[in-house]
Amino acid sequence: MTLHATRLEFTGLFPAGAAPEQLGRGYTWTEGPTYVPSRGVVVFSDVRQNRTWAYSDGGELREELNPSEYQNGHTLDAQGRLIACSHGQRALLRQEPDGSWTTLARTFEGARFNSPNDVALHPDGSLWFTDPSYGLDKPEEGGRGEPMELPGRWVFRLAPDGTLTAPIRDRDKPNGLVFASADTLLLADTGKDSATYRYDVTPDGRATLVGEHFRVNPGKTDGLRVDEAGRIWSSAGDGVHVLTPDGQELGRILFPEVVSNLCFGGPDGTALYVTATTGFWRIMTLTRAG
């Protein structure tokens, strides 16, 4: 049984008979799924094979970038353009309509980033991205033995006018992140704490830690999303955990491999796409992204 309900309302999030469907296999570490409505595709990374892939609404799966400069997480900006975190370039990138890539940010106060990992769009148009050191520490994720230049692993904010700040500097290995609302950020730490934390965010781009919001078991939260009702959909060691807005478990979608990340997409937005170690999956739901 692939749907395990902790609360009865969990089963109401799926159409009758819903189950994970594997759309792709044979990867090494899939990550960063993001639906691009203008193209009708989900773009996702196979970080350790240094490639990205695109799965279309019509069911076509094709290689997108090879090499990809070890792209990891993705999102869309306020204009619907694809934003990518590049381990290889140690940079935040934007894909232009002609397919070319623009570097949005590479350094902070003269020091190069570690390896941007995941990125989220704030309602004000700013891009917030995490910068752990996985792309430096791991040769299979682009590491070339280069040292950290920054004194920590921080979360950065790139404002619409190009101003770059580092509002969060208190985490070990900041990873997945999502805005539950304009004034609430959920941030997963995949370091020694292995929990997801809540921050209050102000209109001028400051962030204040409120406290631990939830933690999954088994495994840890890597990527996460919030749906239209504020429910949290989190990756975990055994699949996808679905939680109430305040972090109480509703149920789990079980997968045979560790889940890294997920996103809502498809023509009506109700398909949940899941990256799980060597596979790429989809399960239909009755909700969509918030």
> CA 196, 281, 192 angle in degrees (round to 5)?
25
Within-domain flag for 76: yes
State which residues form the domain around 144: 35-227+234-239
Task: Please give the pLDDT value at position 113.
Answer: 98
Q: Using omega within 30 degrees of 0 as the cis cutoff, is the peptide bond preceding 67 cis?
A: yes
Within-domain flag for 59: yes
Within-domain flag for 107: yes
Task: Please give the pLDDT value at position 111.
Answer: 98
pLDDT per residue rounded down to tens, the chain (290 residues): 699 999 999 999 999 999 999 999 999 999 999 999 999 999 999 999 999 999 999 999 999 999 999 999 999 999 999 999 999 999 999 999 999 999 999 999 999 999 999 999 999 999 999 999 999 999 999 988 899 999 999 999 999 999 999 999 999 999 999 999 999 999 999 998 899 999 999 999 999 999 999 999 999 999 999 999 999 999 999 999 999 999 999 999 999 999 999 999 999 999 999 999 999 999 999 999 99
Task: Please give the pLDDT value at position 168.
Answer: 98
Within-domain flag for 5: no
Task: Please give the pLDDT value at position 193.
Answer: 84
List % helix, strand, coil for the chain (3-state, nearest 5).
5, 50, 45
Within-domain flag for 19: no
Overall number of domains in the chain: 1
Write down the residue that tokens 């109480």 correspond to: 248
Report which of 147, 146, 141, 197 is spatially closest to residue 169, judged by C-alpha positions: 197
CATH code: domain of residue 129: 2.120.10.30
Within-domain flag for 248: no
Within-domain flag for 72: yes
Within-domain flag for 177: yes
Report which of 75, 48, 31 is spatially closest to residue 280, judged by C-alpha positions: 31
